[in-house]
């Protein structure tokens, strides 16, 4: 089972990906609606809802969108030559590799003891001279790292706009009118194609 926790919540929000004014342009709103307080409040809420649906440990993209700090726990170090895998990309940096032996200060390995291979699919931490011998346990080792987008790609911005617009158009998540059903299917098709380009297509088993 993957044992991972959020250490530091993102400083960014959905509005760092798509601003309310950008979303208003996407919706082709009139000047009066763009400046209407209620509309702006509803647009902001729809943007947050869309990003919440995509980001993080339970997000549909299987990745961190908003940069944050996470910690992965392991029962021990991997076999020699095998890396520690860091899920939920993009990997920004490894903060620390720590032996969780309750020592104070924590028994953190020096940066010279390992090397890091970042990637848009999964990060990897390799030992240079071999991992130290330790007693195994449920959380014997931890890797703290930062992950998320440093720059938000155009496809992600477009995906957030489409989802947020759909949420505003259908706040009850229920559609009865036949023509709306046809439009909804088109929206879902467009969302699926963009999600396929952004989603990390791996399961938890691939990260163990």
Mean pLDDT of 122-140: 91
Question: Which among 85, 155, 147 is positioned nearest to 122, based on CA atoms?
Answer: 85
Neighbours of 50 (CB within 10 A): 24
9 pLDDT band, cuts 50/70/90, is very high
Enumerate the β-bridge partners of residue 74: 141
Name the 3-class secondary structure at 92. strand
Q: Which of 147, 170, 192 is the last residue of a domain?
A: 147
Residue 175 has pLDDT above 60, yes or no: no
Together in a domain, 39 and 77: no
* Residue 59 φ then ψ, to 5°: -75, 155
Q: What is the pTM of this model?
A: 0.86
Q: Report d(CA 84, CA 80) in Å as an integer.
A: 11
Q: Which residues constitute the domain of residue 198?
A: 3-63+151-207
Mean pLDDT of 169-187: 56
List, for residues 22-62, the tens digit of each pLDDT value. 999 999 999 999 999 999 999 999 999 999 999 999 999 99
Q: Report d(CA 55, CA 124) in Å as an integer.
A: 21
Is 128 or 104 the better-scoring residue by pLDDT? Answer: 128
In the numeric block, which tokens belong to residue 47?
A: 């943007």
Residue 204 has pLDDT above 60, yes or no: no
Together in a domain, 7 and 72: no
Neighbours of 148 (CB within 10 A): 22
**Residue 105: what pLDDT?**
72
Mean pLDDT of 76-84: 91
Q: Report d(CA 40, CA 157) in Å as an integer.
A: 18
Residue with tokens 């044992």: 3
Together in a domain, 175 and 133: no
Residue with tokens 């903060």: 95
Residue 61 is inside which H or E element, if any?
A: none
Peptide bond into 58 cis (omega under 30): no
Together in a domain, 157 and 58: yes
């Amino acid at each position: 089972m993957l044992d991972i926790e959020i250490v530091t919540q993102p400083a960014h929000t959905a509005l760092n990906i798509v601003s309310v004014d950008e979303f208003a342009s996407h919706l082709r709103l009139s000047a009066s609606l763009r400046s209407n307080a209620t509309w702006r409040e509803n647009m902001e809420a729809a943007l947050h809802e869309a990003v919440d649906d995509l980001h993080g440990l339970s997000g549909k993209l299987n990745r961190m969108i908003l940069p944050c700090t996470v910690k992965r726990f392991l029962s021990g170090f991997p076999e020699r030559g095998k890396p520690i895998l860091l899920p939920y990309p993009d990997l920004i940096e490894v903060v620390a590799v720590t032996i969780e032996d309750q020592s104070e200060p924590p028994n953190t390995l020096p940066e010279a003891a390992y090397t890091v291979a970042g990637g848009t699919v999964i990060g990897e931490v390799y030992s240079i001279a071999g991992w130290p011998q330790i007693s195994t346990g449920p959380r014997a080792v931890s890797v703290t790292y930062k992950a998320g987008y440093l720059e938000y790609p155009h496809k992600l911005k477009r995906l957030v706009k489409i989802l947020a617009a759909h949420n505003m158009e259908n706040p009850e998540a229920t559609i009865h009118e036949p023509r709306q059903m046809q439009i909804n299917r088109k929206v879902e098709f467009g969302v699926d194609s963009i999600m396929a380009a952004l989603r990390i297509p791996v399961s938890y088993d691939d990260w163990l």
